A and B are shown apart, each in its own frame.
Chain A
Amino acid sequence: MPDATKTIKSRGTVTIDVEHCKGCDLCIPACPPGVLAMSTAVNHMGYRFPELYPGCTGCAACSYVCPDFVFEVFRFDEPVLTEVPA
């Protein structure tokens, strides 16, 4: 029996400058669709950093609240679709 999947639409994306992150966590609750979560790995300073999951809207809230200039924010011309387990 095939696993059920659903499609998540991402209208935007970000680049994350992992090595400059100081692990403050402020971006996590700031993201309206909730598609950021802190990593388990750490960067060279020993901090965990945010990782991006499907569903970004390109709203740039993460960039607004980040004290360390970690994010660059993009809007796709066409939304990118990702299949995930339902």
Chain B
Amino acid sequence: MTTTNPPVGPVLDTSAAPSVGARMVEAQKPDLLLTQDHHMCPGCGEPIAVRQFLETITQLDAVERAIGVAGIGCYTSFSGSMDVDLVQALHGRAPSVATGVKRMLPDALVFTLQGDGDMVNEGLQEVIHTAARGERLTCILLNNGVFGETGGHMTATSVIGQRTKNSLDGRDAEYHGYPVLIGDLIAQLQGAAYVARGSVHNAGAVARTQKMFKRAFESQLAGAGFSFVEVLTMCPTGWFIPTPEGPGYMQETLGEVHIMGELKVDGKVRTTDELHAENVAKQREVDEALAKGGLHT
């Protein structure tokens, strides 16, 4: 995918839409984003994920029933820029708030937007019980393995060896214990109908993640039960690395432990071996498609 040869030729004019016949295949920003401006750091994976689920809501024609419930983290600022009716919850508390919303408005498309510190530290009980109860809503987890907003501290999903502000020598199993693989945990619960873990480390992963959002929302709209999409996102600031190294670092650390893939589909939990094999195959598929000129069908 990466090229070692510098591009040749003149720098092209990219300041305006082309003057010769062309059709737009990808808009600059999703319809449901009021502004492209945000204060996320350079190289942050969160806006990449946010774009995907917002576009999915539009594609599913579910805009007029979409209600978001946001947790507290860097992504909280999207509460103001997402053009959806929204309830702001406290750190960890979005699943219970979303439960109240969905029970009163069963036809709404209700989703939570939470980080790993929010969901897996503070709010672990909330998300597990909401899944166990089979509440027909979709919890979305942006997992970067750190508390980004407060400066890069260890969370329940940080992996062994990961350096954070309060595990400077790397997370040590003996002292800090082991990470919680929240997607896998949730998949075990009977009330969970669709559970998937995506990632935004490259274009192919982003495209796969969009499909996960689609299947999760479809499952909610069909009344199937609890749906869950975890997305591994880069946090170069919280990981203390240069931005271009974000995707690679993520694949080598979080990605090795929190395995990408559809963890539970139609009530069936998939094995780690199945997921690994699928990831290899899908990456190859996507590389071929991109080389041929696109992921669009």
Q: How far is the CA of A57 from the CA of B26 in the complex (A)?
A: 13
Specify which chain A residues have a CB less than 8 angstroms from the CB of B40 in the assembled complex: 67
Q: Which of A22-78 contact B (CB under 8 A)?
A: 22-26, 28-37, 47, 51-55, 57-78
Closest to A32 in B: B290
Q: How far is the CB of B181 from chain A (nearest CB, A)?
A: 25
Report yes or no: B11 in contact with A53, Cβ–Cβ below 8 A. yes
Q: How far is the CB of A7 from chain B (nearest CB, A)?
A: 10
State which of B45-53, B61-69, B166-174, B185-193 sits at the interface with chain A: B45-53
Report yes or no: B12 in contact with A67, Cβ–Cβ below 8 A. no
Q: How far is the CB of A51 from chain B (nearest CB, A)?
A: 5
Number of contacting residues on A, CB 8 A? 58
Q: Which of B1-38 contact A (CB under 8 A)?
A: 1-3, 5-12, 14-18, 20-29, 33, 36-38
- Determine which residue in A51, A67, A69 has the highest number of CB atoms from chain B within 10 A of its CB, and name it: A67
Report yes or no: A82 in contact with B36, Cβ–Cβ below 8 A. no
Specify which chain B residues have a CB less than 8 angstroms from the CB of A23 in the assembled complex: 42, 243
Specify which chain A residues have a CB less than 8 angstroms from the CB of B296 in the assembled complex: 60
Report yes or no: B18 in contact with A20, Cβ–Cβ below 8 A. no
Report yes or no: B203 in contact with A30, Cβ–Cβ below 8 A. yes
Q: How far is the CB of A78 from chain B (nearest CB, A)?
A: 7
Closest to B288 in A: A32
Report yes or no: A67 in contact with B43, Cβ–Cβ below 8 A. yes
The number of chain B residues touching the other chain, given as a range, is 35 or more
Closest to A20 in B: B36
Q: How far is the CA of A16 from the CA of B40 in the complex (A)?
A: 19
Report yes or no: A80 in contact with B36, Cβ–Cβ below 8 A. no
Report yes or no: A29 in contact with B295, Cβ–Cβ below 8 A. no
Report yes or no: A77 in contact with B23, Cβ–Cβ below 8 A. yes
User: Among the listed B25, B51, B206, which residue makes an inter-chain contact with A58, where contact means beta carbons less than 8 Å apart?
Assistant: B25
Specify which chain B residues have a CB less than 8 angstroms from the CB of A15 in the assembled complex: 14-17, 28
List chain B positions with a Cβ less than 8 A from chain A: 1-3, 5-12, 14-18, 20-29, 33, 36-38, 40-48, 51, 200, 202-203, 206-207, 236, 243-244, 246-247, 287, 290-296
Show 22 A/B contacts (Cβ-Cβ < 8 Å), sorted by A: A8-B9, A13-B22, A15-B28, A24-B244, A24-B246, A28-B244, A30-B203, A32-B287, A32-B290, A32-B291, A34-B2, A59-B203, A59-B294, A62-B203, A64-B206, A65-B48, A67-B45, A72-B26, A74-B22, A75-B294, A76-B18, A84-B10
Among all A-B residue pairs, the 9 with the closest Cβ atoms: A34-B3, A53-B7, A61-B203, A77-B21, A24-B43, A22-B42, A73-B26, A69-B36, A84-B9
